Amino acid sequence: MIPEDAHYTEEHEWVRAGEGGIVTVGITHYAQEALGDIVFVSLPSVGDGVEAGQSCGEVESTKSVSELYAPMTGQVVEVNGGVDDVPETINSDPYGDGWLFKIDCGDESERNRQLEGLMSAREYEGLTSGA
């Protein structure tokens, strides 16, 4: 089930709006399933500036290494240290405890403007059902 309360990218990241200009980012169930058992993540650091569409980290699984792409432009304000310690959390709970990092997009209006460029759950389901 693809959560309706998030937005999605073609690179299989999800984005959930939080307080003010903050968004939480993770990879989708589809992505973690395609990757297989996740064994390591390399996330951006707090304070890093990220730009939409640019690589900002990696997810390594027993099958391959995949780039993480920033779904939105802003500054990283928090990273999920739990997935550093227990990366398989991304496999077991990609939309919950397996979140990766949070971005401050500046303010709520800028965040909302950037969210408009992402896919809805329904659009993402269309992308992945044909895959």
In a domain, 131, yes or no: no
pLDDT digits (tens, 9 = 90+) for 12-70: 999 999 999 999 999 999 999 999 999 999 999 999 999 999 999 999 999 999 999 99
In a domain, 105, yes or no: yes
Q: How many CB atoms sit inside 10 A of residue 113's CB?
A: 13
pLDDT of residue 131: 55
**Number of folded domains in the chain?**
1
Q: CB of 14 within 8 A of CB of 3? A: yes
Q: Give me the domain span that covers residue 91.
A: 10-125
Buried b (16+ CB within 10 A) or exposed e, 45-63: eeebebebeeebbebebee
In a domain, 5, yes or no: no
